Structure 1
Amino acid sequence: MSSVDHIEALKAKHASLEQAINQEVKRPHPDDDVVCSLKKRKLQIKDEINRLSSPTSH
């Protein structure tokens, strides 16, 4: 898998996590632990995307 493909896969996962966060928040009684966990994973993916996209990583 090329780095571009890997970044695109990470972006798709990032969007999926955003959707999961939105669904959880809209529930009548959202689970704060689940929301926190999803947001943490989303941030990790964003950091990895930024790391892979930086000019120094090539």
Structure 2
Amino acid sequence: MNASPEMDFDEMLSVRLQVLRREHRDLDEAVHALELSGRPDVLTLRRLKKQKLAMKDQITQIENKLIPDIIA
């Protein structure tokens, strides 16, 4: 049996999900550090939070694709 060295779609989504979660966590830490600074740059803070929210939406979309919708 020949195993394909290429990843299937679900595996690619799983890898993308891991990367997005790591980037989301990094953004969260950056936002937290900026908020703890004496006088945070409001525009930068707003931009980072917006990126974080968009990333969370991407994470949710991928999770929905990977987790089947089972009706009980």
- TM-score w.r.t. the length of structure 2 is 0.73
Partners of 2:27 and 2:48 within 8 A in 1: yes
Q: Is 1:19 matched with 2:29? A: yes
Stretches of structure 2 lacking an aligned partner (at least 5 in a row): 1-6
Q: Is 1:53 matched with 2:63? A: yes
Larger helix percent: 1
- Would you identify which runs of 4 or more consecutive aligned residues in structure 1 move more than 6 Å? none
Stretches of structure 1 lacking an aligned partner (at least 5 in a row): none
Instruction: Tell me what 1:9 maps to.
Output: 19
Which residue of 39, 47, 53 maps to 2:49?
39
Instruction: Tell me what 2:3 maps to.
Output: none
Task: Output the aligned Cα RMSD.
Answer: 2.0
After TM superposition, give the deviation of residue 55 of structure 1 in Å.
Answer: 4.0
Percent of aligned positions that are identical: 26
For residue 30 of structure 2, give the secondary structure of its aligned residue in structure 1. Answer: helix
Aligned length: 58
Amino acid at match of 2:59: I
- TM-score w.r.t. the length of structure 1 is 0.90
CA–CA distance in structure 2, aligned partners of residues 57 and 40 of structure 1: 26
